[in-house]
Structure 1
Amino acid sequence: MDFHVVHVTVPADTAEAIGETFWQAGAQGLETVAETDSSTTLRAYFPEAPAAENLLAALEHTLAAFDDSGGQLRDFTIERRPHEDWLAKWKADWKVQPVGQRWLIVPPWRRAEAAANPEWQDRLRLVIEPGMAFGTGTHATTQACLTLLEQLPAIPEQVLDVGTGTGILAIAAAKLFPAAVCSACDTDPDAVAIAAVNAQDNGVGGRLQTHVRSVTAYPDGHFDLVLANLTAEVIVSLASELARVLRPQGQLIVAGVLSERQASVAAAMATAGLDLRQTQTDGEWWAALAQRRPDDTPA
């Protein structure tokens, strides 16, 4: 069976985000072809031909978030190729990955390897199929959320993951806090379906409630912890809603924020009645733990 290869050159500091855009568009493989100090050339593999106009628009939207990228998308092509064993090669490149002190990201075909390594026995395993939706555990934004989650100063009873994607953060919360009631929402029905399947595969399907909805559909003051690995623009627009659904002194973990946008996100959270408690920067990405003020009504 033939497959399709998308080739593109992007500014070097945007390569990670562009790669995630490819995953969200349905890519089943991704590789870096060439790198310089200023640019990165990527190849993404698709089982069916992607709609060129839609994919190009998604890539340009991602690039637009980088004010100082200093470059544009170049050499964008889509090529049909005859079948070869590229998937097996791609899978060989995905390794079991420890994250933080508690987590182990496990591609499904690496389960036996993860189980056999005595160094990993005390870690909580998150088995996620790469490329299913946003949140495979390898991106800096997801890893930041997982690290902040394991450092949480209080054990939550009610957890909400907003924009859940693969469900990885909701699944992580369910595993880390076995007594908690965990919910996950996304406005994309496909993502919610994927999250539900992943929850079952990770043994927490009975404890994770998944919904096709926005955070706006949840009641006031219901959650002790909200997870929001989104984008700066979305977090700013939803800041008051994220605060509203938290109980007083409830905690919010946000990520997906480019470091250059952190000031606007922090300001929006402060206006919404949230105080920063901890921040984390990994390269170009910023994440934070915030807490709703006691008896404070979100703006």
Structure 2
Amino acid sequence: MNHEEIKAEDNVSTVIQFVLLGFSDLSTLQGFLSGVFSIIYMIILIGNCLIIMITKIDPVLKKPMYFFLANFSFLEICYVTVTVPRILFNIWTQDRHISILACAVQMCFFLMLGTTESFLLAVMSYDRYVAICNPLHYPLVMNPTKCTQLAAVSWLTGIPIQVGQTCQIFSLHFCNSNQINHFFCDIPPILKLGCGDTSVHELSVYVVVMMVAAVPFILVLTSYSRIIVTILRLPTTKGRTKAFSTCSSHLLVVVLFYGSATVTYLRPKSTHSPGTDKLLSLFYTIVTPMFNPMIYSLRNKEVIAALRKMILLK
């Protein structure tokens, strides 16, 4: 499929809109991809909506752990809605043009929500740390006010940081091309289109990633290292199994999210390839959000019991 490409001379920006190439190279699979992404999007919406419903309805789930899980589920719905509907629109209409403003807005919301997820995962690991390592103080430490404050910080911290980063990225002159070899407006493919030296912008990306991903990840690792030590000291095998099962779901989500996102954003621009970037991005934008409801529900007896109770009531 041919796409209109704009090239410019010297350092004058002539790009007024981009072309999201997405999966246009897979021309024979457009119908299949449309079906796959539609199904995945519905699974994410239904699965996370169910988690939000049961945490609000079932009195057994009125605990800090499930308060954060409900926040996380709502976040996942917002997170995938930034990218997947646009992917489907591009496939259905075969119109892959996107204005610079729309591209900047998509990137900004994607980065803000990604930052929220990073901090929320750290908060959830802190919740598990307090519950397992200091169970007697848990109700006092993780009181409703503290939980609300931690959730608010997770949601709001990324806004000024990522608005600033988005403004900086789009202050570049785009004169190399207007074709974004990706399925949404992400930083690595946008930087590739910038004129001249973009090393300062790359450096700012590394600094921001260290702030919003590496620091929370270190907090997660610190929490879980202490959790594992505490679990191993438990006197009974049953106690160790129960404590570890509570945390293993969260740890799996952490590894999937931080692993793929960190590799994407911390690699030098010269080592980025469109195929690898798309594959890694699929993990932290679509695959992980799809598995999160299953990971948290199928590995949690209280959630399964609440689901059964809600189904039987209907």
Give TM-score scaled by structure 2 length. Answer: 0.25
Structure showing the higher helix proportion among its residues: 2
Q: Which has the higher contact order (CA 8 A, sep 6+)?
A: 2
